[in-house]
Structure 1
Amino acid sequence: MVKHGEEGLGFEIVKAVLNGDIIEPITFQKVKDYCSTSGIQATETHMRVILSNSTKNSHSPTYKNYFERVGKGEYRILSEHRRQEKYFWLNVDATSYEWSFSDLKVGRSQIYSNTNPNGAKRKKETCFKYIQIGDSVVAYETGTTKAITTICIVENKYELDDEIFIEFKKSVDYDLYLALESLKANGDLKDCDILKNHRGTLFELEKKHFDIIRRMLRTLNASGDNEQDLHEKVKQSLADGSDERRARLAKRDSVTPVSYETIVRVFKRNPDVIAEVLMRANGICEECLKPAPFYRKFDGTPYLEVHHRIRLADGGDDTVANTIALCPNCHREMHYG
């Protein structure tokens, strides 16, 4: 039996939290159980001195060195004692939970536990014990999406009736998602075992792999040649005139847009549809009915954005009927309002 641990009971409690052996909030009973199973000799008096039920925060120097009180008899370790940030991969089953991070606003959170909807413990349950507040997580949506849609931060972690709950806060919006096929095609990720087998819910991700994935997301969502190329084709379509555009639209074999793989699936939108909608709007936002907020520098045309009422990613058609010309504010509201 180790007397009070090698470096004192307070330090042992901190280590237990960081190793996932004690789930915050820390309580007297959790510490008592941990000491019993770990062979640490500590009297109840000693435990209560460190983790008093007092309503004041000045009862113990050791308490103030390691912990902060979050409720009567409940504590968390101070931020300076938390370990270096870790990285994780979270599988999001939108079908089972009827929500997804792609539909969630930045700053909002969702909670997962180490128990699935059927009450059974999840695979790779160890990660639920090990993950900590402040860790970063890539959210991979399963089902038909099969792509990383956002990056999250662990906002909170707690235990209730032997079930561990993790609160994941969405930290960034991406218009384009990072498909599984694209991840597998990246040679820098060839040693990422999660891509070979990601059955389960939560996995620890190496920092180098997290950094590569985040860089791929940023590159994908940066303004690039594809947008400029599409705009040039729209300009040409506008110059052709409405009769010629409508004739080409009438001859199309399909209203389903051609898709191709860059880093993720990108829909190749039809420039004639965009041109028709812009001509219909005539410089006026079709939602708020106000003039376009500014004119493009390089050609002096009113700046409006063409939005699909039913997203292409959701099976919407690339047609004039399914699109609307919006000012940037209304466009953002359509996506995130």
Structure 2
Amino acid sequence: MAKHGEGLGYEIVKAVNNGEIKEPITFKKVKDFCKSKGLNPSESHMRVILSNSTENTHSPTYAKYFVRVAKGEYEIHPDYRKKAKYYWLNIDTEGYEWSFSDLKVGRRETYSSLNEDGGKRKNESCFQSINIGDKVVAYETGKTKAITTICIVVDKYENDDGEVFVEFEKLRDFDKFLTLNEMKDNNSLSDCDVIGFHRGTLFELKEKHYIEIVKMLENINSLIDYYEVLEREVQKSRVLTSVERKKRLNNRESNIPEKAERKSTCFIRNPDVIAEVLERADGICEECGKAAPFLRAADKTPYLEVHHKVRLADGGEDTVDNALAVCPNCHRRLHFG
């Protein structure tokens, strides 16, 4: 190691990148690290290494390894931060007593490079190459056959027998999972070998494939978020009088709904139209004339669905006159009968 800043500074950078030192970096953490590695820099040198590496841009013996984030606290300069890698983790939901989809965000689970019988897992090299900070998509096998969440590697260690342990932390919750068939149907993933063959536990993913998988997850779940928001807006609209709703409908700029591009195109529907049609029906299906099949648990109102006579996809208007309140059975018949 070099005697002055570049050597110690670079060793600190490597220690942060491999998880030996957790950010923010402090004098105490540097001191403890040096002691654990048998390094003996002077205390004054350890105290100035972080600040000098940040501030002394004129000295040839110091590189700009760190940036100050608070008093006495530093992080690695972006130029020296290890680039994250990406992985696919198989979760055997039938063999284990847990699954990431059932765990709360922030929960952690540890995987070993050895299986339950003590043998090496397939793709053992991935357990060697994966590191703290790497991103992971969790794929649940068995009946689920879907990506259910995103994780990050928060710890990695090896015992005296060479067994590697990797700890994964759940980062996100998703209401809808991304199925294997959906990934197979995506042309952007046609060259993703893991999707075609993933027998084993851990596989490295190309960055572009990880990004595409996460984008697909977010797209299918943003549709769920949209319908939840729409439902809340409909409930707000139903509090208004019919006169108030019709006034708002008469004042809107266009009867043609906006489009939002997600995984597929959806239409941003007007909650006042939905509320007005439901009020008009008064709990009776406007197609078969029968009462709504059940009451909503949330507000005890009759459950009917609003159907457009001329489909929005065919240029139909999002208006009260172009809509019917129908029971689920009639709604399916109107679409598929």
Q: TM-score, normalised by structure 2?
A: 0.52
Provide the secondary structure at the position in 2 that maps to 1:276: coil
Q: Match of 2:214, as an amino acid? A: R
Question: Partner amino acid for 2:166?
Answer: I
Deviations 1:272-292 (A, max 9, x none): 6xx614179637xxxxxxxxx
* SS at structure 1 position matched to 2:284: helix
Distance 1:109 1:224, change over 3 A: closer
Larger Rg: 2
Q: Does 1:51 align with 2:31?
A: no
Asked if the contact 1:237/1:245 (under 8 Å) is kept, the reply is no
Paired residue type of 1:171: L
1:185 is aligned to 2:185: yes
2:296 aligned partner, one-letter code: L
Corresponding position of 1:103: 102
Q: Is the 8 A contact 2:284 2:290 kept in 1?
A: no
- The answer to whether residue 317 in structure 2 is matched with residue 282 in structure 1 is no
Letter in 1 for 2:37: L
Q: Which amino acid aligns with 1:139?
A: A
Corresponding position of 1:197 = 197
- Over aligned residues, Cα RMSD in angstroms? 4.7
Determine if contact 1:93/1:143 at 8 Å carries over to the other structure. yes
Partner of 1:97, secondary structure, is coil
CA–CA separation in structure 2 for the residues paired with 1:127 and 1:12: 24
- 1:177 corresponds to which letter in structure 2? F
* Residues 15 and 106 (structure 1), Cα distance of their counterparts in 2 relative to 1, 3 Å cut: closer
CA distance in structure 1 between the partners assigned to 2:35 and 2:20 by the alignment: 17
* CA separation of 1:149 and 1:238: change in aligned 2, threshold 3 A: farther
Alignment-derived partner of residue 240 in structure 1: 285
Residue in 1 that maps onto 2:315:
none
- In the other structure, the counterpart of 2:124 is 125
Partner of 1:221: 221
Superposition deviation, residue 184 in structure 1: 0.5
| Equivalent residue number for residue 316 of structure 2 | none
Q: Secondary structure at the match of 2:149?
A: strand
**Residue 178 of structure 1, CA deviation:** 0.2
1:148 maps to 147
Identity across matched positions, percent? 45
Hey, what does 1:312 align to over in structure 2? none
In structure 2, the CA distance between the partners of 1:219 and 1:59, relative to structure 1 (3 Å rule), is same
Residues 1:123 and 1:60: Cα distance change in structure 2 (over 3 Å) = farther
In the aligned structure 2, how far is the partner of 1:156 from the partner of 1:279?
Answer: 44
Unpaired runs of 5+ residues, structure 2, are 22-33, 54-74, 231-266, 302-318, 321-327, 329-337
> Cα offset for 1:89?
0.7
Query: Is the 1:50–1:60 contact (alpha carbons within 8 Å) kept by the matching residues of 2?
Result: no
TM-superposed CA distance for 1:160, in Å, is: 2.4
From the superposition, tell whether residues 280 and 166 of structure 1 become closer, same or farther in structure 2 (CA, over 3 Å): closer
**Separation in 1, partners of 2:226, 2:92:** 31
Shift of 1:60: 7.2
**Distance across 2 between alignment mates of 1:237 and 1:86:** 56
Tell me if the contact between 1:86 and 1:207 (Cα under 8 Å) persists in the aligned partners.
yes
Does residue 212 of structure 1 match 2:212?
Answer: yes
Q: Deviations over 1:104-150 (max 9, x none)?
A: 11111111111112211111111111111111111100000000001
Match of 1:70 in 2: none
Give the count of matched residue pairs: 220
TM-score if structure 1 supplies the norm length?
0.52
